[in-house]
Structure 1
Amino acid sequence: MKVLLYAEATRLISKSGIGTAYRHQIEALSRVGVDFTQDWEDVYDIAHVNTVGPGAKNVVRHCKNKGIPVIWHVHTTPEDIKNSFVFSNFYAKLSRRSLTRKYAQADHLIFPTQYTESVIRRHGVKVPGTVISNGVDTQIFRQNLCKAREFRERFSLNGPIVLGVGFPFKRKGIQDFVEVASKMKDVTFIWFGAKILALLPKDIRRILRDPPQNMIFPGFIPQEELIGAYSAADIFFFPSYEENEGIVVLEALSCECPVVVRDIPVYKGWLENGVNCLKGRSNDEFEQIIRTLLKDRDLSEKIATNGRMVALERDLSVIGDSLLKTYEAVLGRCRS
């Protein structure tokens, strides 16, 4: 069996969650010995498509003409387009019908979480599907005290650190992150993520240009430095309003950085409040949760240790096995 792993505009998506998920698939299949290609004009038995642009449309048409089964990986929903870039809400409305039509063309769908599957099912897509996490490389993303020290030295940090990672979108809760930071002057808040200012609304650009004095927006950083950030931070705070999974959450869990998230449906069934994370619903709650975690080291250590167990269950070797089983099942069904 040979698999096409397809994603278009790979340079453009390289700093996004889709780009990370695509790289994870490459590593996961390599670990379990699955032969794959990234060239859609190559010869292969099954196609695994990750994006939803014109290139993906052409690949799916090509596969249909050749009788090659298509698996479409659902990284994009109308819900997670909203409140992101300029005109994103308008685009989300337009995308609902086109995304539904595209996903309906697949022979099988892969969803990062049960929540994502429920979203797509609500839009009327009935194609069979499997829930498989985007995964995390737990050997790379693990607590590293040396890198933590280097990170603190680079930014001249001595006190407690609260970390956020992701594009600085409203959907990601960047404005809430800043508001909580403004209430906690004795704590350093850092948000890493590519700052594509031309795509951001004015109010978000204003936040990035004039943050509270205890907040830092360094922009995008490479993986090696990010591991140091997760290892140095006292808390990973991710107040996102909508996710399909949240790869940065998996990275923080894997590095044993205590995780604080918004109480939204995507985390149901795998992130448990008070066990492997803490959840809040308002900025007042987030402030109280963060203060509690900074004071209660036993709670912090429990959350961090249990979080690592969640990550290990989603290691790329596990993901590779799940992908292989899915490919075999889809091929068997389509050939019968």
Structure 2
Amino acid sequence: MGDNPLPISINMFSSASKVKGQGVGSAYEELIRLLKTHLSNEITVRINKYSKSDISHYHTIDPTFYLSTFSKKRGVKVGYVHFLPETIEGSLKIPQPFRGIFYKYIIAFYKRMDRIVVVNPTFIPKLETYGISKDKITYIPNFVRKDEFGEYDNKKRLETRAKLNIQDQFTILGIGQVQERKGVKDFIKLAENNPDMLFIWAGGFSFGRLTDGYADLKKVVDNPPANLRFTGIVDRDQLADYYNAADLFLLPSFNELFPMSVLEAFSCGTPVMLRDLDLYHSIIEGYYIKTDGYDQMDQELKELKNDPDRMAQMKAISLSASDRYSEDHLTEIWLKYYSSLVK
């Protein structure tokens, strides 16, 4: 630690765990566990406490947290940017004028911070356009741990498929909130047009009726085609079963930040197919099957189903990607970052 003989005290501020089935909560819980497990000698962590600290790290933008930023006790204020106004479009249905007010509040919150951490480097120029200096911003990716999301051997995989009532169909898994932004409608259409394959969407309506496209999607969720299953929100400790049971992970999202689900799929050795978004290029380029929309997804699925060699190749690629976003690697990065703030 050099200049810092005492542990660094960090107050973490978050309400992300209150809403189940969203990636912000997963990323937050992983970071807390990493710090407590690997860096307990170097860093002391308190959760949602307003005591004096070296660093206050804000994971969500609650109004009570915003008010706390005016206290002298907060130390260095770090904001974790998981979303911007433009990335909320297609997730939540907020009528005007409240939407405009909410978007202004998001940026006002970020501007209260001394430092910003982004989970995706494409956010840096966007934050600059809102008047936040590039010098304040650091990119630190999400990560997942192998002991929670690991690859099953063939015997365990077959047992898991039997437990989840998956026969010998080619099985495609999607994970995330059921909402327009996630491309769920394309997922449904793929299921309708590929009756010989099994499609499973693990996730639910985390924000209920506020979800964009709720009425249309709810009809299909309540009465899906025979080869499409909606599981509802799945507990995090059961997700590895789904990744390992599936042949392919497909995320047809139109808009993402740094999807935890993709990292979890990599970690389980599940081949990954994505709608190709610009923001993926700087973080996971070369590790996934690119598609530009529904037609290409449909064509790729039909080809992959009959190409075990390519599937094996994509599995190996997923496993190599998971090393980049491992817990050990990110432990070093976070320690270096927090230490630099208190020097």
Output the TM-score relative to the length of structure 2. 0.89
Distance (whole Å) between structure 2 residues aligned to residue 28 and residue 279 of structure 1: 32
- Gap change, CA 1:56 and 1:316, over 3 Å in 2: farther
Is 1:50 the counterpart of 2:63 in the alignment?
Answer: no
Question: In 2, are the aligned partners of 1:81 and 1:88 still within 8 Å (CA)?
Answer: no
What residue number does 1:137 align with?
Answer: 145
The verdict on how the C-alpha distance between 1:125 and 1:207 changes in structure 2, with shifts beyond 3 A counting, is farther
**Residue 76 (structure 2) pairs with residue 69 (structure 1):** yes
**Structure 2 unaligned spans of 5+:** 1-7
Partner of 1:322: 333
Residue deviations 1:204-240 (CA, integer Å, cap 9, x gap): 2122122222100011122332111101101000011
2:183 corresponds to 1:180: no
Q: 1:94 to 1:294 in 2, by over 3 A?
A: farther
> In structure 1, how many angstroms separate the alpha carbons of the residues matched to 2:104 and 2:205?
30
**Using the alignment, how far apart are the partners of 1:121 and 1:20 within structure 2?**
27
Aligned-partner Cα distance in 2 for 1:199–1:176: 21
The change in CA–CA distance for 1:150 and 1:194 in structure 2 (over 3 A counts) is farther
Q: In structure 1, what is the Cα distance between the partners aligned to 2:98 and 2:225?
A: 32
Mapped to 2, the partners of 1:325 and 1:198 lie a distance apart of 42
Separation (CA, whole Å) in 2 of partners of 1:157 and 1:244: 31
Contact 2:52/2:74 (<8 A) preserved: no
Deviation at 1:148, TM superposition (A): 3.0
Q: Which residues of structure 1 form unaligned runs of 5+? A: none
Structure 1 residue 259 displacement after superposition: 0.4
Which residue of the other structure, out of 210, 230, 234, is the alignment partner of 1:199?
210
| Aligned counterpart, 1:234 | 247
Match of 2:101 in 1: 94
CA gap 1:207/1:85 in 2 versus in 1, 3 angstroms: farther
1:94 to partner: Cα distance = 3.5
Per-residue deviation at 1:88?
7.2
Output the CA distance in 2 between the equivalents of 1:257 and 1:303. Answer: 8
85-94 or 258-267, which deviates more: 85-94
- Cα RMSD after superposing both structures: 2.0
- The CA deviation at 1:21 is 1.0
Mapping of residues 147-226 of structure 1, within 5 Å? 147-158=156-167, 159-196=169-206, 197-200=208-211, 201-226=214-239
**CA contact under 8 A between 2:12 and 2:57: conserved in structure 1?**
yes
Give the C-alpha shift of residue 89 in structure 1. 8.6
Greater CA drift, 240-249 or 314-323: 314-323
Quick one: which of 259, 272, 288 aligns to 2:272? 259
Kept after mapping to 1: 8 A contact 2:181/2:255: yes
Code of the residue aligned with 1:18 in structure 2: it is: V
In structure 1, C-alpha distance between the alignment counterparts of 2:87 and 2:253, rounded to whole Å: 10
Is 1:296 the counterpart of 2:307 in the alignment?
yes
Q: CA deviation at 1:26?
A: 0.8
Percent identity for Structure 1 against Structure 2: 24
C-alpha distance 147-37 of structure 1, shift in aligned 2 (>3 A) = farther
Structure 1 Cα separation of the partners of residues 271 and 96 of structure 2: 32
Cα distance in 2 for partners of 1:66, 1:327 equals 17
Counterpart of 1:203, as a letter, is: D
Partner secondary structure for residue 98 of structure 1:
helix
Look up the SS of the partner of 2:18 in the other structure. Answer: coil
Q: Which moved more, 1:297-306 or 1:142-151?
A: 142-151
Per the alignment, residue 87 of structure 2 pairs with: 80
TM-score (norm 1): 0.91
CA contact (8 A) 1:242 1:264 kept: yes
CA distance in 2, matches of 1:232, 1:225: 11
- Which residue does 2:131 correspond to in 1? 124
1:138 Cα deviation after fit: 2.1
1:268 pairs, out of 271, 281, 286, with: 281
SS in 2 for 1:114: coil
CA distance, structure 2, for counterparts of residue 18 and residue 90 of structure 1: 26
